[in-house]
C-alpha cells in the first residue's frame, strides 16, 4: 500500500510519517508512507492508494478529492486528535480501513 500525507508545507507531518512507519514495521505491514506539500501532490500520484489530508488544510479536501478520486485513489482528512497526538498507529489504521 502507498500512502501520501498532504499538508501545507510537507513538513508538519514528518513526525507522523515516522510514527506510522514504525507502527507498520511493528505489525509487519508492507507500506510506503510519505508526506508532501499540497503543491507537490500532482508529482506524487504514481501507484498511490490513499491520500490523507492534514487537519490544518482540511479546506483543500474538496479540491483534492476532485483531482485524485477519479484516478481511483481514496481520500480522507486525518483524524484531528490522532494527528495532534502523533498517533501513527491510529492514522495507519485509518488508511488501511479506507482500502478495505
pLDDT digits (tens, 9 = 90+) for 24-38: 999 999 999 999 999
> Tens of pLDDT along 38-73?
999 999 999 999 999 999 999 999 999 999 999 999
Task: Kindly state the average pLDDT of the residues 64-93.
Answer: 96
- Options 3, 4, 5, 7, the catalytic residue: 7
CATH code of 83's domain: 3.40.50.2300
pTM: predicted TM-score of the whole model, two decimal places: 0.94
Domain total for the chain?
1
pLDDT tier for residue 9 given thresholds of 50, 70 and 90: confident
The pLDDT of residue 11 is: 66
| Structural domain harbouring 94 | 2-99
Q: 3-state DSSP call for residue 54?
A: coil
Active-site residue, 60 included: no
Provide the pLDDT for residue 64: 96
User: Residue 60 and residue 8: Cα distance in Å, rounded?
Assistant: 10
Q: How many helices (H) and strands (E) does the chain have?
A: 4, 4
Amino acid at each position: 500500500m502507498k500512502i501520501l500525507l498532504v499538508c501545507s508545507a510537507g513538513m508538519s507531518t514528518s513526525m507522523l510519517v515516522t510514527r506510522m512507519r514504525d507502527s507498520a514495521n511493528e505489525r509487519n505491514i508492507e507500506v510506503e508512507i510519505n508526506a508532501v506539500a499540497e503543491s507537490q501532490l500532482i508529482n506524487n500520484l504514481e501507484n498511490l492508494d490513499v491520500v490523507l489530508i492534514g487537519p490544518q488544510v482540511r479546506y483543500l479536501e474538496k479540491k483534492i478529492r476532485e483531482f485524485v478520486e477519479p484516478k481511483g485513489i481514496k481520500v480522507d482528512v486525518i483524524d484531528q486528535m490522532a494527528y495532534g497526538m502523533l498517533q501513527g498507529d491510529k492514522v495507519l489504521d485509518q488508511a488501511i480501513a479506507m482500502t478495505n
